[in-house]
Structure 1
């Protein structure tokens, strides 16, 4: 596994094998569209095109955090007629630095490739010159903390796509972080059933399948939840931690019995029995827990359901 995936650095010497996962996630429907299990040394930026390969992206809007923005990636997305919104680091380039220091909140400029982007595009078989412009729109968004973030997009029409719209859309990217939280903590992604490469990859694919199945069944519970909320103060949602436990044996029945409809209805009724209130405005400071260097284990903030 060390040879296959690599290891992160450790002050105690050679550490345990580690891998990097990259998932294309639908934040509107809460579904994992495609996921890759990559060696630890592979960067997110490097594997993103592998995740997007073979997919029809023209009607979609892709959201990226600040680890992704680069000329070559934007160039590839624009040429595929794909819209995107990316958070840009404050020190990304001179244009971004000047934009932050200015009084402007919305600009559209031409950017040019760095030598790194030229080399990356050349490696992909795309030959352009250093004077090839790329039209990018930058906007400033103000967070509740007073911090200013810069977003880059190819949605150029400021009257149709306002700064408030882009801020709202980018905030939806938080659903990607909660997705990783679910698969890593509640679904116990790091607890593999074997130590061979094929076992680990199968467990990863099974986790994505289980997550999507749970999302689809939860979607079916919405009419019932809407009826329940009419007589309650708060809005409610399915308790995901308990729903995983409900599916522990139900998923096996789906592959054993022909009458899968009855199994799915049984799971839906179990989901509807365990609801939790949605309390708006709740915020908690991020607590960083210590992790020993000798062994990987799952950190949970609640009682395990699996």
Structure 2
């Protein structure tokens, strides 16, 4: 029988993953959303990405946003990078936690970064060296860990190849990601059980989309299989601009409701998370898929 963890760390990704497929919003609106997110008590936030503004216009203000993060000293902010150049820019902007995405599938890797999976993995060592020289940490996130919109089902061996490369080349943390929201609980358990022995003492995280309505079930499967780090996005904002059909991260408030009501500790206050989702809805100007935003907490409405 699976043993539930006492605590799960939730990293809030609305400011980067959540906004990357949206029309760019003003920096002032991002700062309003950041303040609402910080008020939830979250300890880790993915703040932005140092990538080509022509490919992801919503992240063009990364240096300006980074300048405001010092107002929240209790939060560990991370930035996504797609190359050694991006890593240098993130470090120069003050980040001490970097994320580098390597797709397990060649089709998505070429659409996302213009390189094969192996070519992308080959850059882990350079990015890790840049981070470590600055006293920073780097997490390798393995996208399309279950399925690719171009190549179909991802063989687990391809995920394990990236895991091994990440461990050998200096990654401090590893995460597996369901980029297009096709995973199901049984498949999640199977892959986590394969990956966990390979990462050693490194923390293992997971990232799920709710595209097909099973994101929370997959998160629960990951937790019961031993994962204690999960990504989520206020309001369910997000999706991958380079993966056709991908939409909707699992909503932070929905995840908090599931975990906290099941007796698992989290750092995020549910009422504040629901309020942050309302702010997110206002700044992007459209409805969001969050269930708790519509229905409220069962005890407080």
Is TM more than 0.5 here? no
Q: With structure 2 as the length reference, what TM-score do the two structures score?
A: 0.32
Q: With structure 1 as the length reference, what TM-score do the two structures score?
A: 0.31
Q: Name the structure, 1 or 2, with higher relative contact order (CA <8 Å, separation 6+).
A: 2
